[in-house]
Amino acid sequence: MNNKNRVVLSFSIMALLLLTVGYGQSWNVALAIFNMCLISAVMSMGLNMQWGYAGLFNAGVMASTAIGGLTAVLVSYSPVMKAWSAGGTPLTAAFTALLITIAFGLLVWKKIKKGFFRSLCMTAVVLTGYVFMRIYYDEATLAIEAIEPAKTGFLGGLGLPIIFSWIAGGLAAAGLAWIVGRISLGLRSDYFAIATLGISEIMISILKNEDWLSRGVKNVTGLDRPVPYEVDLQQSEWFINLVTRFHGTADDGSPVSADILRETIQLSAGVFVKICYSGLFLAVVLIILWFATRALNSPWGRMMRAIRDNETAASAMGKDVTSRHRQVFIIGSAVIGIAGAMLTTLDGQFTPGSYIPLRFTFLIWVMVIIGGSGNNLGAIIGAFITWFVWIEAEPASLWLVSHVNVLLAETNPLRVHLQEVAPHIRMVLMGLILVLVLRFTPKGILPEKAPEHY
């Protein structure tokens, strides 16, 4: 089967699966899965740039996602003025102290010759800087977190429309990736993997504990939305008319009762909101896909693949491998950051506690590997299939368990246990799929196609 047929076939099967869920379970569920599939597709396209184009093992996908989510909060939440006036000054002082420390550190690093004296000066600079930062910082956080801790207790954001955060999230993730890349690129892949894994864990602990910034585990809820609210839709004239036109009459032509109509309007409002999100997300996916495909087929893309396939040969041809790696790492992280902001937008809340590596790093890996590393459409279909399985495996395993369970008594400990652990069956399933794909079709569902012009 050639590649084009594979694309058509795999996407048709995916569409069919989603339609089945739509008819079988409900359209709300199908669209919810579809939206998450789209977000996952953006994430896996980002990771595909890093792994598929350039062969970088990034085990810190979660860090980009989380910083994208944080940006969504910082852009859209209205600023908490009281907190700014209480803690703004010491916070600025702490930040200035940080900058001065960094400046002095760089000065020492550049001006003093390597040796014992430099280490001594460096330690002195860092320690002094730390003490000053800590003094102002402690004062600032205490002041900020004391302002209505039950409602806000953090600085808030800029109060801009949340859709801007999708771009800002990408930029923030790119900035983080630049720092990470400076530290850990240029070494062998395993080291890079471990370093990025560490960064992502630190990132999450920062989000969980820096209450002044992200409200920590108290979560930020009620974020602004780029689409209408269900409640408003149910009240608005045009929406009611729209629903009445489609669902106003029963099969025999008579008008349906008011109660049924109201229920239909409520359901339709949910579906409508999700369709709005789907439209936005789909636009993002298509734009990124367009850019990614262009990039992959350009000389730049060929250079990346050349570096991936043989670093030594590529550097012999005068390519700066490390800086190219850094470049693609930053671009890929930015794409993942966009997805992170989209995810927080869709959820309408930011919950640092929900970020776990298996879900936000390694699941994205499964998507890329299954779909076909190096192929953008492959990354998308991989994201769709993986997310679909991830979501539907839970009801499926619960169903399976419930069928096993009819044999057991209501209070049988085994039955209770099975009910509790059924959701974890999907972990095993994911691992199994990953290992099987890696073994038997290592190129994935849609293999990377060798360009014609070789």
By beta-carbon proximity to another protein, the closer residue of 129 and 157 is 129
Instruction: Indicate whether 208 belongs to the interface with another protein (CB under 8 A).
Output: yes
Instruction: Indicate whether 136 belongs to the interface with another protein (CB under 8 A).
Output: no
Instruction: Indicate whether 431 belongs to the interface with another protein (CB under 8 A).
Output: yes
- For another protein, which residue of 98, 121, 201, 256 counts as binding (CB under 8 A)? 201
Query: What's the one-letter identity of residue 296?
Result: L
User: What is the helix (H) or strand (E) element at residue 37, kind and residue range?
Assistant: helix 27-48
By CB under 8 A, the count of residues binding another protein is 47
Token pair 């694309």 in the structure block, residue: 7
- For another protein, which residue of 187, 260, 287, 313 counts as binding (CB under 8 A)? 187
User: What is the helix (H) or strand (E) element at residue 325, kind and residue range?
Assistant: helix 321-347
User: In whole angstroms, what is the distance from residue 198 CA to residue 330 CA?
Assistant: 17
Instruction: Indicate whether 105 belongs to the interface with another protein (CB under 8 A).
Output: no
Which residues have C-beta within 8 Å of that of residue 264, sequence separation ≥ 6? 243, 247, 256
CB 281 within 8 A of CB 39: yes
Tokens for 113? 């010759």
One DSSP character per residue, 274-289 reads: HHHHHHHHHHHHHHHH
User: In this chain, which stretch among 94-102, 180-188, 268-276, 340-348 interacts with another protein, using CB under 8 A?
Assistant: 180-188
How many alpha carbons fall within 13 Å on the CB side of residue 177? 33
Instruction: Indicate whether 27 belongs to the interface with another protein (CB under 8 A).
Output: no
- For another protein, which residue of 78, 106, 107, 138 counts as binding (CB under 8 A)? 138
How many alpha carbons fall within 13 Å on the CB side of residue 231? 1
φ and ψ at 249, to 5 degrees? Answer: -115, 145
CB of 358 vs another protein, minimal distance in Å = 7
Instruction: Indicate whether 55 belongs to the interface with another protein (CB under 8 A).
Output: yes
Instruction: Indicate whether 439 belongs to the interface with another protein (CB under 8 A).
Output: yes
Binding letters toward another protein, positions 365-404, x by CB under 8 A:
xx--x-----------------------------------
By beta-carbon proximity to another protein, the closer residue of 16 and 202 is 202
Tokens for 73? 């909060």
Binding residues for another protein (CB under 8 A): 55, 57, 59, 134, 138, 183-184, 187-191, 193-195, 197-199, 201-202, 205-206, 208-209, 357-358, 362, 365-366, 369, 417, 420-421, 424-432, 434-435, 438-439, 442
